[in-house]
């Protein structure tokens, strides 16, 4: 069965600092991996996705993520955070092309200190 | 283009009452999902449809919950009778089969059952 673990429930960083949010997945085959962001009072929005190819993928809002098969990880990074990045971030895994059912992690809440 | 539209945004009801949540997916999308989000359990998939047909309802908590999709532009999630433990934010999301895993979420319906 697929599963996603986000080890950090809550992270606080200072504005302008770099950010890395961790995600580990469990899946037998090559997974389809996603990061979503949820701003307060809003639904989730897709940040980026990885299906195959280059293991470093770029997303919206200056985010990137790196797929590391050996570590079963798909960590999200941003070189310099802005106050508007404060939100909850969800990692998700899907079973393959055309399949739409995703398994989401528990989420990591990001707080930005001014 | 309009996104996924959910109504009501907020609902406060008393235990035992019937609750109906509504969703209008993005035009042209052939998948529709109902998720529930709580602090304790995170984001849970309740049910999803493909071309208006329920594909997987294994996440529906119990018989008090039912979902329908009478046509491609409308879906309902009904809880009857409601209980305090049903208090949560309910999200509807839609996607297109040609875009794996790219879900578009509504802003959610916050349900409080007293």
Q: Give A62-82 pLDDT, tens digit per residue.
A: 999 999 999 999 999 999 999
Chain B residue with the nearest C-alpha to that of A32: B101
- Give Cα separations from A104 to A30, A33, A44, B51, B55 (angstroms): 17, 10, 11, 23, 19
Inter-chain residue contact A100 with B105, CB threshold 8 Å? no
Query: Looking at residue A107, what DSSP letter applies?
Result: -
CA-closest candidate to residue B112, choices B5, B2, B14: B14
| Bigger pLDDT: A99 vs B54 | B54
Which portions of chain A are predicted below pLDDT 50? none
Which of A6, A102, A109 to probe by mutation at the B interface, max B CB count within 10 Å? A102
d(CA B57, CA B66): 9
Q: For residue B96, give the chain A residue with the closest CA.
A: A100
pLDDT digits (tens, 9 = 90+) for B12-28: 999 999 999 999 999 99
Is residue A103 within 8 Å of A92, Cβ to Cβ?
A: yes
What value does the mean pLDDT of chain B take? 94
| pLDDT(B112) > 70 | yes
CB atoms A98 and B103 under 8 Å: no
Q: Report residue A44 as tokens.
A: 């989730």
What b/e string do you get for B59-83 counting C-beta neighbours within 10 Å, with b at 16 or more? bbeeeebebebeebeebebebeebe
């Amino acid at each position: 069965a697929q599963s996603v673990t986000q080890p950090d429930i809550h992270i606080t960083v200072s504005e302008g600092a770099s950010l890395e949010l961790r995600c580990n997945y469990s899946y037998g085959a090559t997974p389809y991996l996603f990061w979503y962001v949820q701003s307060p009072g809003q639904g989730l929005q897709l940040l980026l996705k990885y299906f195959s190819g280059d293991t470093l993928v770029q997303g919206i809002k200056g985010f990137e993520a790196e797929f590391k098969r050996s570590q079963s990880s798909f960590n999200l990074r941003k070189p310099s955070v802005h106050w508007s990045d404060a939100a909850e971030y969800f990692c998700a895994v899907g079973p393959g092309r055309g399949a739409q059912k995703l398994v989401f992690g528990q989420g990591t809440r990001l707080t930005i200190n001014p | 283009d309009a996104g996924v539209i959910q109504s009501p945004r907020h609902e406060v009801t008393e235990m035992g009452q019937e609750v109906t949540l509504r969703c209008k997916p993005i035009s042209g999308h052939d998948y529709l999902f109902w998720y529930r989000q709580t602090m304790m359990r995170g984001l849970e998939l309740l049910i999803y449809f493909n071309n208006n047909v329920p594909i997987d309802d294994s996440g529906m908590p119990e018989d008090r919950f039912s979902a329908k999709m009478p046509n491609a532009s409308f879906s309902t999630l009904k809880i009857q009778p409601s209980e305090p433990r049903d208090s949560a934010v309910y999200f509807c999301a839609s996607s297109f089969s040609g875009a794996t895993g790219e879900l578009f979420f509504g802003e959610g319906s916050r349900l409080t059952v007293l």
